[in-house]
Homo-oligomer: A and B are copies of this chain.
Amino acid sequence: MFDTAQTLYIAGMVGVGVFAVSGALAAAEKNLDILGFILFATVTGVGGGTLRDLILDVDVFWVAHPLDLQICVAAGVLTYFVASQFLERQRLKRALLWADAMGLALFCVLGTAKAHALGVDPLVACAMGLITTTFGSVTRDILSGREPVLLGQEIYVTAALSGALSYLVLIHWLESEAVTLILPMLIAFLVRAAAMVFDLRLPKYSRR
C-alpha cells in the first residue's frame, strides 16, 4: 500500500504531531498562554530530530519542509482550545504520558533507521534513535522545570532501546521494509505501555 519512503514520511509527521501534543500538554500544566503552547509543541516535536540531524551532519529536516513546523503550530493551537474544554486537570498528565509514549515508539525507530541508512555503526545508529526519542521530551521537561520523564521510575529508555535494537535486528531478516519499520514501533510502544500500566521498573542501583 505504502512504500518505505512514504511510510517513513508519514510516520515522521505523526511522531512530530504526537510529541508536539505532549509538549502542548506540558504547557497546559504550566498554565501558559497560546504562544507558550506553540513553543512547547514545537520544541518537543522537532527537538530530538534536530539534534540527530546536526550530529549526523545532514540538513535539519524541518528547515526545507515547513510542514513539520506547521504541524507543531497546529498541535499547539488545537491543544490550547481542546484541552481547556475537555481535559480535567488530573487527566492532563496521563494524556501527556500517552502522547509521549506514541512519539517514543515512532521516533526511536525512525531515528535509528535514518542513521542506519547513512551507514554508521549499529551502536551509533542506536544512539541516534535514543537521541531522536529523548531530546525533545528532555528539553520540554527542563524548560518547564520538571524532572525529565526518562529519569522517572518507569521503564522509558528501555522501551526506546527495544525499538531501536529490534529494528537493527529485523532489517537483516525481513524483506518488507514497511514491516521492518512498523513492528519495532509496536514493540517499543507495547514495552512502554506495559511499563506505564503495570508500573514496571528495572532494578535500581542500591546504595549502602
Contact A202 B151 (CB under 8 A): no
Contact A63-B69, Cβ < 8 Å, known A30-B151, A150-B39:
no
Which B residue sits closest to A30, measured CB to CB?
B151
Chain A, interface size: which category?
35 or more
Q: How many copies does the complex hold?
A: 3
Chain B residue numbers with a CB within 8 Å of A124 are: 62-63, 66, 69
Which B residue sits closest to A153, measured CB to CB?
B33
Contact B56 A54 (CB under 8 A): no
Contact B204 A33 (CB under 8 A): yes
What would 13 A/B residue contacts be, using CB atoms closer than 8 Å? A30-B151, A32-B151, A32-B205, A33-B204, A33-B205, A35-B161, A36-B157, A42-B127, A55-B63, A57-B60, A87-B208, A142-B143, A143-B151
On A, residues with C-beta under 8 Å from B are 27-28, 30-37, 39, 42, 50, 54-57, 59-60, 62-64, 66, 69-70, 73, 80, 83-84, 87-89, 92, 120-121, 123-124, 127, 130, 138, 142-145, 147-148, 150-151, 157-158, 161, 201-208
